[in-house]
Amino acid sequence: MQYFPIFAQADGLKILMIGAGEVASRKLELLTRTQAQIRVIAPNVCDVVMAMANKGQIALEQRFAELDDLEGIDLLYMATGDEPLNRQFALQAKALGLWVNVVDAPKLCNFITPAIVDRGRLQVAISTSGAAPVFARELRARLETWLPASLTDLFDFIANKRTEVQHRLPMFEQRKLFWEQFFRLNGDRCDERTVDYFEQAFDTLSGSGELLLLEAHTPIDLLPLAAVPLMQRLDRLCSDLTPPERLSELVRRDAGRQPMLPLSELSARLDKGERVMVYGETETIAQLVAHFPMAKHLRPGAL
């Protein structure tokens, strides 16, 4: 990856935008949704940016920027049409250890602003590393239609319920199973039924785990699509072999990786509600199929 995605805490962040034209206004429309302290310096100001200043969303100074303006800031956006000026300020800011974004000049940037889908606490960031911003915008448009506005209220509801769930379900595994059950029942809605589904998820909570079995040398890309969400829910991947990279990419990133467990310990973990995948040779998988008849045997085109 050329760029590593990071979500920065915006509360109290000091941002300087040099430039106040149409390009700057598009950046500011996103930035003003945060609690950051935004300062804009430019001799000429477009109507949209002036309106933001009049509403108190930004601090506007109508003048030419000076290098001394870089003191005390955290992020710098350069949005002027003056390439030498953009370069001068970008290099000075980097020398001061600041994060810099220069519009339409990726080589001068040490961070970029992705296309964003905003649903309150749920945020999706999309980037093509500056290669094809038009495609990123098109993908964002598709996600805007796919992710309903109800998600904003739903995630506020969930945030308000997290402490209650922690008190009612002290074990992490219990809470993980609870939230999975809640989302299966509720989906992406947020209405009068959401509270009912919240309580129902407690009532239907099951402690039974899940075992996935995958033979070595199985072509990972030929597995059915239905296998992907199962692997995304795994708690651990057990194998005495080195799993292929493609398999490791599909398994939940924070799932444990370890050698094959004894049958007794594997049974105990399943009884506790863990979701486990075993990746092994054909003989090993055959033994597990016989011992755990309810296990899901993943094969090309079938579960």
Whether 90 is covered by a domain: the verdict is: yes
Whether 244 and 280 share a structural domain: yes
Q: Are residues 248 and 191 part of one domain? A: no
In a domain, 303, yes or no: no
Strands (E), 67-132: 75-78, 99-102, 115-119, 122-126
- Choosing from 113, 135, 167, the residue where a domain stops is 113
Give the pLDDT of residue 106: 87
Of the residues 203, 218, 237, the one at which a domain ends: 203
Q: How far apart are CA 193 and CA 186, in angstroms?
A: 8
87 and 194 in a common domain: no
d(CA 92, CA 86): 10
* Total domains present in the chain: 4
Residues 184 and 198 in one domain: yes
Query: Does residue 215 fall inside a structural domain?
Result: yes
Helix axes 150-168, 192-203, angle to 10 degrees: 30
Q: Which of 147, 167, 193 is the last residue of a domain?
A: 147
Does 126 lie in the same domain as 98? no
Whether residue 291 sits in one domain with residue 222: yes
Spell out the per-residue pLDDT of the chain, length 303, in tens: 888 999 999 999 999 999 999 999 999 999 999 999 999 999 999 999 999 999 999 999 999 999 999 999 999 999 999 999 999 999 999 999 999 999 989 899 999 989 999 999 999 999 998 788 899 999 999 999 999 999 999 999 999 999 999 999 988 888 988 998 999 999 999 999 999 999 999 987 766 689 999 999 999 999 999 999 999 999 999 999 999 999 999 999 999 999 999 999 999 998 888 899 999 999 999 999 999 988 999 999 876
* Shared-domain flag, residues 103 and 157: no
Residue-number span of the structural domain to which 178 is assigned: 150-203
Cβ burial of 35 (10 Å; 0-12, 13-18, 19+) is exposed
Assess if residue 251 is contained within a domain: yes
The CATH number of whichever domain residue 127 belongs to comes to 3.30.160
Do both 43 and 62 map to the same domain?
A: yes
- Regarding whether 185 and 123 lie in a shared domain, the answer is no
Q: Could you identify the residue written with the tokens 């219990």? A: 174
Residue 7 lies in a domain: yes
